[in-house]
Structure 1
Amino acid sequence: MDKNTEDSLEKLFDTAFKDINLESPSPDFTEKVMHQIKAEKRVLNIEYRPIISKSILVGLFVLLVFIIAFFSTKADLTSSGWLDMPVAMDWTNKISFPEFSIPVSNTMLYGIVAFGFMLFIQITLLKGYLDKRLA
């Protein structure tokens, strides 16, 4: 636009808005709005339901214990008839735990322990924070 058009539009707007009175809100407008916002506080009814139920977790734990106990007996799975083992066999004498011989330096060991400790602290703090926030 050229300068003359801008000037004429400016004069037109000035004359049009000259007679319009500005409305101002009441002095307690902000207080009324905030009072309505506080009155409309939403209540969240969020019920915590774990993804995996306790019965399934217990079942998985028992299954894991049985698998570890079975494989710790060092049963020969390749022989024919490994399912025909006697029920009353004394398998508790055959339990042997594997020996781990992974070379780990003290620095790495301290790092792993510190990481586990910090992870435990963080999970505990986040659970407390989320419990307060969702309650």
Structure 2
Amino acid sequence: MSEHQEHELDKLSDIVIRKAGLETPPERLKQNIMHAILAKNTYRPVKGLLTKKSKLAIGVFVLGFCIAIGLLPLAKGVWEFSGVLADFTGYMDHISSRIPKTFLYGIMAFGLLVLVQVAYLKHQINRL
């Protein structure tokens, strides 16, 4: 483009801009923007994954499981266990001779809680 054409184009664009004038924003533009910002920043508490009843049920189950594990070797002489329960107590006796019981109970409780948590979270994700 030549310099003369650019000058004519500048004059033409200047005329178009003057005729169009300045666009005026709506009267409540600032209030609308501030309201939108405030609406995005409001605090909404996050709903917990577990209800109080489910927390209580899990706690009672874990406590009962730990008590049952502790009492099974003591009750071995009183009742004769059969099947899976007898195998479980025999396996526990074999392991407990090598590993401290508190460590074993901690590992078992941790594994149980991880399994419960994974199953519950999978259920919650599938519901979405």
Q: Above 0.5 in TM-score?
A: no
Q: Looking at secondary structure, tell me which structure has more helix per residue.
A: 2
TM (norm. structure 2) is 0.37
- Which of the pair has the greater relative contact order for Cα pairs under 8 Å at 6+ separation? 1
